[in-house]
Structures are given as C-alpha cells and as structure tokens.
A = this chain, B = another copy of it.
Amino acid sequence: MIRYTPLAASLPATVPFVGPETQERTMGKGFVARLGANESMFGPSPLAIAAMARGAQDVWMYGDPEVFELRTALAAHHGADLENIVVGEGIDGLLGYLVRLIVGPGDAVVTSDGAYPTFNFHVTGFGGVLHKVPYRGDFEDPTALLDRAHAVGAKLIYLSNPDNPMGSYLDAATVEAMIEGLPDGCLLILDQAYADLAPQGTAPKVAHDDPRVIRFRTFSKGYGMAGLRVGYGIGAPELVQAFNKVRNHFGVGRIAQAGALAALADQDWVTFVRAQVVAARDSFGAVGRANGLVPLASATNFICLNCGQDGAFARRVLQELGLRGIFVRMPGVAPMDRCIRVSLGDAAALAAFEAALPEALKAARE
C-alpha cells in the first residue's frame, strides 16, 4: 500500500551497528565498562562541557545553518579557507550526503573488506555497487584499492587512516602516493576520525583545494564528544558547496556548534587525552599479554587483541566479556576477526577489563 521507491523497497532493514543500550536491554543489566564503540572515556574538555551547558540555555534558537563561527575556527585550525570546510551530523551524516551526491544506482565504489560498515550502508542505500578488496595483513592496501578502482571505474574509494577496526595506519607518504595514483574522476574519501590520536606523520599533506580528496574529521574521538554529532569535511570549494544541495541545513544544532567550538579552542585537552590514550594502549595491551593475547600496534584510541584462534573463538570471548559487563566489539572479517577490539578507557575500566578477561577467556575455551 505504501509505494516505496524500488531501491528503498529492495534495501534490507539491517543497521550498521547494534548499540550497547540494545544489548543492555536484552541482558536486563548495564555494562560495567563501555569499551566497544571507540568513545573517549576521557571525555571532552571541561570548557566544552561548560559551553554545552550554556548552549542549553540558548537552545530555543536554531543553530546557524552556515555554521559560520565553527567553520571559521576550523579553517584557521587547519590553515584552510572557510570555503574548504563543511560541518555535518558526524562523519556518518557527511558520508551519507557525499554518497548521495556522487553515487547512483549501479555506480562503483571501492572499499576494504572489513572497513567501516556505515559507509557501506550509505553506498548500498543509494544503489551503489561495493567492490571490496582484502586487507593486507592488518593494514588497508592502497595498491589493491587503486587497482580495483581502475578496474571497475570507481567514483569513490574509502580509506580510513588510522584504520578502524584494526588501529593500524599508513604513513603520510603512502597516502600521498595513493592520491597520485587515483583514476581520473575517482574521489578518495580519507576518513581521519582517529587522526587527532595518531602519531606525527600520519596525516598526508593534501592541498585543501585538491578535488581528488575529501578528508573527514570528527569531534567524536579525540575531542571526546561522540554523543554531540559533529563532524567536518575538508575539501575543494566546489565539492564543499555541493553539500548545500542536499544537507539538512539546520541539522547541526545550537549546543553542538557551541560545544565543538569550545572543544577546538582547547587543544591542551586534546594533548592531555592523547597522552592518556598512549598510556592506556600500554596498560590495556599489558592486560591482554598477561592473558596470552597479543596486542596489535595502534594509532587510535582502541587496540585489537589477537585471541590467537579463529573468528568463532574471538566472538565467544567477546560474548563472555559482555556477560561479565564488558562491552567490546571485533572486526567482522577474517583473518582480522581473530581479534577483539577494545576501546581504551580509564583506570576503573582497565580494572574491570582486567578482572573479567581471564574468566571470559576460560569460558570461551570451554
């Protein structure tokens, strides 16, 4: 009776990620440690919290649909111009707009098998055809991505660097070389969600006006405001302007703009968080090692712990951790799914993880 478009009718009713709240409702109890969604347990800058509380007083007003102040500050932060910056409802929202602008039914898109499911959700949602290349070890493979893009005439390539879900990264020169190898008319989406937490030298030098690349950044990870929903893109003015054709113009609200602006101004906080994350990589890795798991090198606020067997075993470890109040996730594709993926938390979360892991492993082995 409801006449959906043929495309909409054909889409599955799946979701990219099941939220921890859903699992909590199923279990009938809450998680003790929330280490599955790569949120920042170190939280946002106190100055940003104060700005959001003040923003709540002003929330009777719509946010500026041009997001002028925040875009101006972001442009200054990156040495770009206002016309290079688009702000949206998280990278998720921006990926949706970008795919809508570029991808129609049958258009080819290349990504890595096991990379970000929400990007795939958008491509499928607009009728695009996903071509997936395997990871090379625990790294995305630029050569394979480019080769496939040339072969299928891709309009988009997706690359996250540092990588999610593996935590690995390609150095700047590798990504810069990849950009030079892009097929004509193929846009590289460089998802830099974790760039604020990565070592020096991860971010490639890209001219802000380069029409071959759009870089996405977020306030969800290093800035610790996943629940605020503010991401941004840096790209050529023509492409940035094109978002205005399709975006929800008032979609980034008053509190969101105020919080992001204050967070951006407090780079000391990001430095503090980065130090916490570096320390937590060691301490969470040590807990893994003490239990016979092998931590993978990470340039992000999470680590993959190699459980040493197949995906079925790692999934049991994940489930047993969940039953013990520890929310984690894991890569979805072999052989990366030998790992569980643990977001790096504070001392209390570490203690909870340390307490639960031996029992969870024992149960998973039974």
Contact = CB atoms under 8 A, between A and B. Distances in A.
Contacts of A246: 8, 11, 125
A28 interface: no
Contacts of A184: 1
Contacts of A60: 39-44, 224-227
A41 B34 CA distance: 38
A68 interface: yes
A182 to B, nearest CB: 11
Interface in A312-341: none
A85 interface: no
Interface in A22-72: 22, 25, 34, 37, 39-44, 49, 52-53, 55-66, 68
13 contacts: A1-B185, A5-B107, A6-B104, A8-B102, A15-B244, A17-B65, A39-B60, A55-B227, A59-B224, A60-B224, A63-B229, A93-B248, A255-B255
B39 A89 contact: no
Interface stretch (A136-144, A234-242, A274-282, A292-300): A234-242
Contact of A59 (B52, B90, B101, B118): B52
B227 A59 contact: yes
A254 interface: yes
A350 to B, nearest CB: 16
Contact of A253 (B4, B53, B55, B229): B229
Contacts of A238: 2
B65 A19 contact: yes
A56 B53 contact: yes
B52 A255 contact: yes
Contact of A228 (B44, B118, B245, B255): B255
Contacts of A19: 62, 64-66, 250
A92 interface: yes
A224 B58 CA distance: 10
How many copies of this chain does the complex contain? 2
A244 B125 CA distance: 11
A199 interface: no
A227 B257 CA distance: 10
Nearest to A12: B245
B1 A211 contact: yes
Interface string A199-226: 0000000000001100000001000111
Nearest to A42: B60
A348 interface: no
Most buried by B among A58, A242, A253: A253
Contacts of A39: 60-62
Nearest to A96: B248
A19 B118 CA distance: 31
A96 to B, nearest CB: 6
Interface string A9-22: 00111011111011
B22 A62 contact: no
Contacts of A1: 184-185, 211-212
A251 B229 contact: yes
A101 B4 contact: yes
A102 B1 CA distance: 12
A256 interface: yes
